[in-house]
Structure 1
C-alpha cells in the first residue's frame, strides 16, 4: 500500500488541503487577465443553437432518493445564477464564478456527491448535473472547453433513461474543479436554463446563426471482463456537419472510454 497523501491522513488535513486549493483558485482568478462572463439578459438571443433536458430524479443504484430531492432543491438555487448569462467574444464562462460557494448559509441542502470514486454526500451536492447539461450543449457549438474534470473513468451507476453517451459527464468541486469554456468566435452566446417538475432544461442561443451542426454518438461499446473487474469500453465520436451541403466535414474521436464498473453487472453482456 502506497504512502497516504497529506489530504488523506484525517478530516483536518483534508480540510486544510481543500482550503488551500480554494485560496489558490481565488488568487489565480484575481490575478488573471481573462475576462469572465457576468452580464445577463432576461431576453433570449434570436437563434436557438441547441437544447436539451435531463431527468432530475433518476434511480442511481441504491442511492437514497432523499438526496435526489435535495439535488432538485439545490438546482433551484443555482439555476437563476446562470440563467440568461451572455458569453461575448473572448469571454470565459466559469460555473463557479457565477454560482459561488454552495453553503448551508445560502440554503443548500445535502445532496449526492462523488468522493474518492464512490457515492457520498455533501452540502450542495448534485450540481454536476447542471454542468453535465451545459457541457453537452457546448459540444454542439464552436465554443472551446478549457476546463473539465471527470470521475476518474469509473462507471458508477447503471444506465437509466440515458440520452447522452457515457463518459461525457463532469466533476465539479468548489472552486478548484471548475467547468469553463471560452468564446473564441465572433458571435455572442447565451445560456438559458430552467426547471420543470421533472427535468432540468437548457438552451444555448446566439445572436448569429450557426453554419454547422454537431452529431455525437458512441461506437464499439462493450463490457469486458479483466483481471480486476468489469470495464465499460467505447469511443465517443463527434462529427461536424455543414448544414448547407449536409455533409460531414470533420470527424474526431471525442473520448475513449475504459471505465471500471462499480455496480452489479448481472444481466449485462460481458466479453470474456
Structure 2
C-alpha cells in the first residue's frame, strides 16, 4: 500500500471563483469520498491507500483538496468550515453517483458531518451509505482551540486576525484565523442529535495529542444509538497512518460497504 507513482494530474473545477483539484475514478457504488484534515491533502497516506483499495476492488473513489490545500488554488488563510464544506458538496454533486461512504479524517470528519446535515436537509439522505470518521475533530475551533487560548493569544487574534502555533507535523506553523474560528461557531454539530441516516464507524487513537479520545466519546453522545461503532486504538496517535491503523481503516470501510450492499434490494 505504498504511494502511487506518476499519478495523473487532477481535474480542476471552479467553486466560488477558486480552482479545486479533484481526483475521481469510476467504479461500483457505494463509492467512497475522502475528506482530509486541516492542512492535509488528497495525496496523504490514508487517501492514497483508499485510492489503491478502490482500484483493487473496482469501487468508485473521489478525492479533492480544499481551497488553500494541496493542488487547489486559493489562499489557505481565507479558508473557513463553510467554504470548505461548500467545496466538498460541489465535488460530491459533480463527481459522485449513487450512494457514498464519506471518509473524514480529523477536520474532514467535521466536514463529513456537516455534509450529512446538508444532504438530509436537501432530501438526499439516500445518497449516504456510511460514515467512517478517523480521529474526528468536529467543532474543533470552539471545543479544542478557543478554550486553550491565553488572554495574550486572544488579543493577537483580535488585533491581527490570525494566530500562529507550532506544528509537530511540519516546519510551517498552524495558522488559525479569526474568520475560521468565528465561522466555526456557525457550523457546530455537537449541539444536538446528528441524524446520519446511515451506519457510522469511528476510529480513534487513545494516544492522540491533538484530539483527545474523550472528544470522540462526546461525539458518540450526539449520534443515534443504532449503527454506531467506536474503535479505540490504545497506542494510536492522531494520524493513524501506521500499517496496522491503515488495515483497521480498510476493514471498517469494507464492513460499512457490505452493510450497505446487504440493504440494497
Q: How would you bin the TM-score normalised by the shorter chain?
A: under 0.3
Give the TM-score of the pair, scaled to structure 1. Answer: 0.26
Q: Which has the larger radius of gyration?
A: 1
- Structure with more strand by fraction: 1
Structure number with greater CO (CA < 8 Å, separation at least 6) is 1
What TM-score results when the alignment is normalised by the length of structure 2?
0.26
